[in-house]
Amino acid sequence: MTTRFYFKDIKESDKQFLEKYFNDKKMGRLKKLLLHGNFELAKFDVNAKYHPRHDIFIVGVGLSFADKNLRSEEKGHTLMEAFDLAFDRAINQLRKSESKLRENRAMI
């Protein structure tokens, strides 16, 4: 899986923490859910930015595999809160997508 992080106005320590957090804790969830060799071909993008005027972080998560593109974006008062919300929403979309694929295969 190809993973890319894009940051805007984020402290270096937060950048490193988010990348380590994803690799240590969240990568396994994606590996379990991406079936049929999709894990090796998948692309995962994280866009994180800080808006000082509103004191809020906005994190967008994108997951592309096979012919599917899943996107989610969330806001939070901390970088980790926004990332977890966006990641969980993408996981829910992935679960729905995989369950539809299983149902279609069962009908055949």
Give first-to-last CA distance, the chain, whole Å. Answer: 30
The pLDDT value recorded for residue 105 is 66
Q: How confident is the model at residue 1 (pLDDT cuts 50, 70, 90)?
A: confident
- Using the predicted structure, report yes or no on whether residue 37 has a pLDDT greater than 80: no
pLDDT tens digit sequence for 51-104: 999 999 999 999 998 788 999 999 999 999 999 999 999 999 988 887 777 677
- Using the predicted structure, report yes or no on whether residue 36 has a pLDDT greater than 70: no
Which residue is listed with tokens 């012919």?
67
The pLDDT value recorded for residue 108 is 62
Q: Distance (Å, rounded) from C-alpha 104 to C-alpha 24?
A: 33
- Using the predicted structure, report yes or no on whether residue 31 has a pLDDT greater than 90: no
Q: Is 69 exposed, middle or buried (0-12, 13-18, 19+ CB in 10 A)?
A: exposed
Could you tell me if 68 and 94 are in contact, meaning their C-beta atoms sit under 8 angstroms apart?
no
Length of the chain: 108
The pLDDT value recorded for residue 34 is 79
The pLDDT value recorded for residue 61 is 96
- Percent of the chain whose predicted confidence (pLDDT) is above 90: 66
Q: Distance (Å, rounded) from C-alpha 24 to C-alpha 32?
A: 14
